[in-house]
Amino acid sequence: MRLKHNIDLGYCTNIHRGETWEETFDGLQRYTDEVRRRVSPDQPYGIGLRLGYDACRELASDAAAKDSFRRWLDERNAYVFTINGFPYGKFHGSRVKEQVYAPDWTTTERLDYTKQLFDLMAELSPEGQAISVSTVPGSFKGFIKSETRQEQHEAIYRNLTECADHIESLREKTGRDIHLGLEPEPLCLFETSEETIEFFDGYLSGRESDERSRILSNIGVNYDTCHLAIEYEDPGASVEVLLDAGIRISKIHLSSALKLAPNPDSVKRLAAFQDEVYLHQVVVRSGDSVTHRFEDLPDAFSWFEGNSANAGDEWRVHFHVPLHARAVGYFDDTRDQISGIFQLLKDASSRGEELFCQHFEMETYTWEVLPEEIRYRDVVDQLEAEYGWTLGEFRRYGLA
């Protein structure tokens, strides 16, 4: 939906199962349309679409399906403004874990898929609508091998440059603002603001100023409030250093992580959040310093068994919890990261400045694996409640 300052807000449809276009469209008809009727029956309704590779390929090659989807959108006064292009393949119901980062940006498969997503968006979204796609932050640290590190980085730079060129051609053809957002995530090639800036510095090194400017117009960062909160980053400081480095904020994912003070009881209860589908990275802080990073909950549990007396002051866990629901039991959440972002936007608005980001997407994709005490609603009820909380925050900061 369209809010003040040309802000577009939607929820990411990766919450629903669907790998083929038929499955994806079924989810839009069954769930997304009902959410629209509840939260935005009389105003234009923005959709944050998830298209995996199979659905993307099928829709791109089927003119009748594209026409049907456009009619469906028009009949509902709905529009697509962003795509989550991070998960390439299967995303629900079976083991995903580290494979969500594959294929990474060292491959032409990731490049070709992302270019096709932009092509589809140019066809499907309204004329003049700004377009964003979010994607993997280059690669997963575990995929980068010391003996081939330089070659892998060069492949990532090469493929991103070709994608930037493709975006530029679409910009020239359509007159739209079109951009890709690389999404920092714990234990990925870059996960903190500092690592993100280092990556862009390496990527842009040796390029002429006009080429640097072109790339930075077309490629920026998808700022996930869950991911940066897990890194214990202050939202004001992290956004400021990214913008000062010339890196645009392409899109903001509104999401919340788990946090807890580690002790035998809280860690035992944390086991309820373990599943066999997604990675749930854990970042440990003692005092002001991050001391440990774990790829998944079982790794953190194993370490805790031998270090329970010295397990840090706080753990933050990559588990997207509903925005409207207070964390239960021994846990807290990181919604204050979202509040920090909204305060920055409010401050920019009060100074009469253009907002540093206008695409916002709620992304609680963990619906199917939430513990029962949190997953007590129908998914549509859950999404309606998330809109209620989120719109309340936008209004509180004068942004809606």
Is residue 35 one of the residues assigned to a domain? yes
CA 329 to chain centre: 27
Amino acid in position 59: L
Q: How far is CA 90 from CA 52, 86, 96, 112, in A?
A: 7, 11, 7, 18
The encoded tokens of residue 282 equal: 């854990």
What residues have CB less than 8 Å from 41, skipping those under 6 apart?
A: none
What is the residue-wise DSSP string for 361-373?
EE--TTGGGS-TT
**56, 116 contact by CB (below 8 A):** yes
**280, 318 contact by CB (below 8 A):** yes
The pLDDT score that the predictor gives to residue 152 is: 98
The pLDDT score that the predictor gives to residue 360 is: 98
Number of domains in the chain: 1
CA dihedral 99, 247, 112, 157 (to 10 degrees): -80
User: What 3-state DSSP class applies to 3?
Assistant: coil
Amino acid in position 160: L
Q: How far is CA 208 from CA 75, 150, 165, 214, 253, in A?
A: 47, 21, 15, 10, 32
Going by their DSSP bridges, the two strands 256-260 and 331-333 should be labelled as antiparallel
Residue 174, phi-psi category: left (phi > 0), alpha (psi -120 to 50), beta (remainder): alpha
Is residue 28 one of the residues assigned to a domain? yes
How far is the C-alpha of 206 from the C-alpha of 199, rounded, in Å?
Answer: 14
**130, 358 contact by CB (below 8 A):** yes
φ, ψ dihedrals at 79, nearest 5°: -150, 150
Which residue, among 238, 226, 236, has the nearest Cα to 333 in the 3D structure? 226
The encoded tokens of residue 7 equal: 């802000």
Please tell me the pTM assigned to this model: 0.97
pLDDT averaged per 10 residues in sequence order, the chain, 400 residues? 96 96 98 98 97 98 98 98 96 90 98 98 97 98 97 98 98 97 98 98 97 98 98 96 98 97 96 95 97 98 96 97 82 95 96 96 92 83 96 96
Is residue 292 one of the residues assigned to a domain? no
Burial class (CB in 10 A: 0-12, 13-18, 19+), 180: buried
Inter-axis angle of helices 53-60 and 63-75, nearest 10? 100
How far is the C-alpha of 243 from the C-alpha of 188, rounded, in Å?
Answer: 21
Block residue for tokens 């003040």: 4
Is residue 288 one of the residues assigned to a domain? no
Is residue 320 one of the residues assigned to a domain? no
DSSP state of 181: E
User: For position 28, which CATH number holds?
Assistant: 3.20.20.150
The pLDDT score that the predictor gives to residue 327 is: 64
Is residue 388 one of the residues assigned to a domain? yes
**76, 47 contact by CB (below 8 A):** no
Instruction: Give me the domain span that covers residue 381.
Output: 4-255+334-396
Is residue 345 one of the residues assigned to a domain? yes
Is residue 303 one of the residues assigned to a domain? no
How far is the C-alpha of 274 from the C-alpha of 333, rounded, in Å?
Answer: 17
The pLDDT score that the predictor gives to residue 328 is: 66
Amino acid in position 66: K
